[in-house]
Structure 1
Amino acid sequence: MSTPTPAVSQAPLPFSFSLAAGAIAGVTEILTMYPLDVVKTRFQLAVGAADASILGTFKEIVKSEGPKALYRGILPPILVEAPKRAIKFGCNDMYAQIYKREFGLKDGKSLAVLTGMSAGVTEAAVVVSFDLVKIRLQDKRNAGKYKNTTDCVKTIFREEGFRGFFKGLEATVLRHAVWNGGYFGVISTARSLFPEPQSKEALLATNFACGTIGGTVGTMLNTPFDVVKTRVQSQLAAPYKYGWAAPAIRTIIREEGVAALYKGFGPKVLRLGPGGGILLVVYDFVTTYMRKHFM
C-alpha cells in the first residue's frame, strides 16, 4: 500500500494494524470534509434542476437552516467511518496478500485495481445501512420528520422493516467497487511517475498528490452509481421510481439527460479528491509509525 520510507521496514502489517490505521485516516477525513457531502446530496436529490453553485448552496443552507445543517446526519458516517476506512485499507492489504499467495499475482496496476474493487465490495456491505440513514437525515424534505439519528433508525424500521436498511445495496456495491478500483489503481500508476522521495516531507507531498489524483479519478468513475444510490435510498414509500442501477440510470438519462448522472460532482470531487490525499497521507503516517515502534 505504502511507498517505501527510508530506514523503515516494509514487512506486511498485521491486519489489526491496517484496520486501526484505516480507521484513524477515515475519521480525520470525514471531520474535515463532511459539509461538502451534505451539499453533494442536496445536488443529487434535485431532480430535473441544474446544480447551483457550491458556495451559494453553502450560504443557502446556513441562512435557511443554520450552520448545524452542514453537519446534519454526521453521526451515522462517524459511527461507520472507522470500520469503513479500516476495511478500505485493511482489506485491500489482506486481498493483496491472498491474490499473491493463491494466484501468484505480482505488485502492479492490475493487482491494485483487483484488490481495491474486492475491498470496495466488502466495504459496501458494511456501510449501506449507515449511508441510508445519513441520506434520510441530509434530505431537506425530511426536515422535522426525524428528531435525531436514533429516531430515524426507529422510523425506518417501523415503516420499512429490516430490509429497508439495505435499499440501494446494489448501487452501493458498484459505487464502492468502482471508486476503490480507480483509487488504488491510479495511485499505483501515479507513484511510478513521481521521483523517489528523498525526505519525509517529499514523501508526504507525493502521497498527498497521488491520493488526490486517485480520489479524483475514482470520483469521475463512480459518480453515476452514487447518484443512483442517493435517489434509491431517499425513497420513502412505494411505488418506487428508482430500483436496480441499470434501469435507474436509463430513467435518469431519459428524463434529465446524461449530465444528470454527474449531479453533485463538484462538491463530491472537492471532497474525495483532497480527501483521498488526506486519507493516504494519514494512513501512511500512521502505518510508518506502527512499523517503526511496534514491529
Structure 2
Amino acid sequence: MSSAEFVAGWLAGAAGLALGHPFDTVKVRIQTQAGYRNILDCMVRTYRHETFRGFFKGMSFPLLSVAVVNSVTFGAYGNALLYLCNTPCRDRHSDPPSYAHVFMAGSFSGLMQAVILAPVDLIKVRLQNQNHPYGRSRVVPEEAQPRYRGPMHCSAVIFREEGFAGLFRGGWALVLRDTPTMAVYFLVYTGLCRGMTTERQEPGPVTVLLAGGCAGTVSWALATPMDVVKARLQMDGLKQTEYRGVLDCVVTSARKEGLRVFLKALSLNAARAFPVNAVTFLSYESLLKVLC
C-alpha cells in the first residue's frame, strides 16, 4: 500500500476546502431553505444578517476532518490503481493506466469517501443552515440563539435525539452521489491531462489546473440532483422525519416543486467546482512529486 496519495490528498483537500466553503454555504441554504430568490439574494441576505462570518459556518469541523476524508479519497484511488494495474504514483504518467481502471478506481474512491464523509457532511450542513447573526448585539434573544453551539455540540445533540444512525442521515444519498461522480471526476481529469500533454510526459501546472477545474465542474453538474436529495435528508431530522428515504424524498420533492428542484444551485456548484478542484489537483500533483 502506498501512503503518498493519503498524505497528498490530506493537504490538497484542505487547500480546496478553504477556497470553496463560502460558496458551499450558499449552495446548502438554497437547496434546503425556502425564501431565497436566487444565488445573489442568498449571498446579500447572509451578509446583511450574519456578516462575512456567516459564509464560514460549519467550516471548522470539515477543515479539521477534511484531512481524513480527502486522504481516503485520493488514497483509495491511488491504491486501487496500484492493485488493478500495478502502477505506482511516480509512474502514473509515463506508464498510464487504462481508462477502465481509472473508472473503477474512481468508483471505489467515491464509495470510500461517502462512508467516511457522511457524519462530517451532516454536521457541516446542520451548522451552515443556522441563520443566527454575528456581531450585531451583545444580547441575543433566546429564540434567536443557535440550536448548535459548534460541531461537537451538534454531533452530541444529533446522537442524543436521533441515535447513532442519525449521524449517517442522508448516507445512502451520499453513496449514490459520490460513487459514480468520483469515477467521472478522475476519468475526466485523466483524459484531459493526456489530451493536452505529450504522450508519457507529466502534465504541466496549467494543464493540471484546467483539467482539475473541468473535472470538478463536470462531476458536480452530475452530482447536483442527488446533492439536493442528500441535503434535504440531512436536514430532515430537524423536521421530525418528513421523508421515508431517498426515493420518497425524490418523489415528494418533484411532486411539490417540479423536476427543476433537482437543479437547485447547479450554476453555483459548477462555478465553485472549477477553482476549488483546480487548486486541489495542482496541490495533489505537486505533493506527489515530493512524496513519491
Match of 2:130? 140
CA contact (8 A) 1:168 1:232 kept: yes
CA contact (8 A) 1:73 1:135 kept: yes
Tell me which of 187, 192, 195 is aligned to 2:194: 192
Partners of 1:161 and 1:141 in 2: how far apart?
25
Q: Could you tell me how far 1:188 is from its partner in structure 2?
A: 2.0
CA contact (8 A) 2:39 2:265 kept: no
Match of 2:25? 38
TM-score w.r.t. the length of structure 1 is 0.85
Partners of 1:214 and 1:156 in 2: how far apart?
34
Partners of 2:104 and 2:255 in 1: how far apart?
33
Partners of 2:229 and 2:48 in 1: how far apart?
29
CA contact (8 A) 1:42 1:140 kept: no
Match of 1:16? 3
CA contact (8 A) 2:217 2:269 kept: no
Aligned residues: 271
Q: Aligned pair 1:231/2:232, yes or no?
A: yes
Match of 2:73? 88
Change (3 A) 1:88 1:141: same
Runs of 4+, deviation exceeding 6 Å: 197-200
Q: Could you tell me how far 1:178 is from its partner in structure 2?
A: 2.4
Partners of 2:195 and 2:237 in 1: how far apart?
47
Q: Could you tell me how far 1:238 is from its partner in structure 2?
A: 6.6
Tell me which of 174, 177, 180 is aligned to 1:178: 180
* Aligned-residue CA RMSD (Å): 2.3
Q: Could you tell me how far 1:25 is from its partner in structure 2?
A: 0.2
Letter in 1 for 2:123: V
SS at match of 2:204: helix
Q: Could you tell me how far 1:290 is from its partner in structure 2?
A: 1.9
CA contact (8 A) 1:197 1:206 kept: no
Match of 1:108? 98
Tell me which of 28, 35, 38 is aligned to 1:52: 38
The superposition leaves residues 209-243 of structure 1 with CA deviations (integer Å, 9 ceiling, x where unpaired) of 11111111101111111111100001125752224
Match of 2:60? 75
Match of 2:215? 214
TM-score w.r.t. the length of structure 2 is 0.86
Match of 2:141? none
Partners of 1:190 and 1:247 in 2: how far apart?
38
Q: Could you tell me how far 1:199 is from its partner in structure 2?
A: 10
Letter in 1 for 2:156: K
CA contact (8 A) 1:109 1:185 kept: yes
Match of 1:159? 161
The superposition leaves residues 54-79 of structure 1 with CA deviations (integer Å, 9 ceiling, x where unpaired) of 4x322221111121111101122112
The superposition leaves residues 189-222 of structure 1 with CA deviations (integer Å, 9 ceiling, x where unpaired) of 212321429999x700001111111111101111
Q: Aligned pair 1:25/2:15, yes or no?
A: no
Match of 2:93? none
The superposition leaves residues 150-201 of structure 1 with CA deviations (integer Å, 9 ceiling, x where unpaired) of 221221111111111011110011111122111001112212321429999x
Tell me which of 124, 127, 130 is aligned to 2:120: 130
CA contact (8 A) 1:40 1:267 kept: yes
CA contact (8 A) 2:216 2:273 kept: yes
Partners of 1:109 and 1:242 in 2: how far apart?
38
Match of 1:5? none
Partners of 2:230 and 2:172 in 1: how far apart?
8
Letter in 2 for 1:168: G
Partners of 2:264 and 2:183 in 1: how far apart?
22
Change (3 A) 1:124 1:258: same
Where does the alignment leave 5 or more consecutive residues of structure 1 unmatched? Answer: 1-13
Identity %: 25
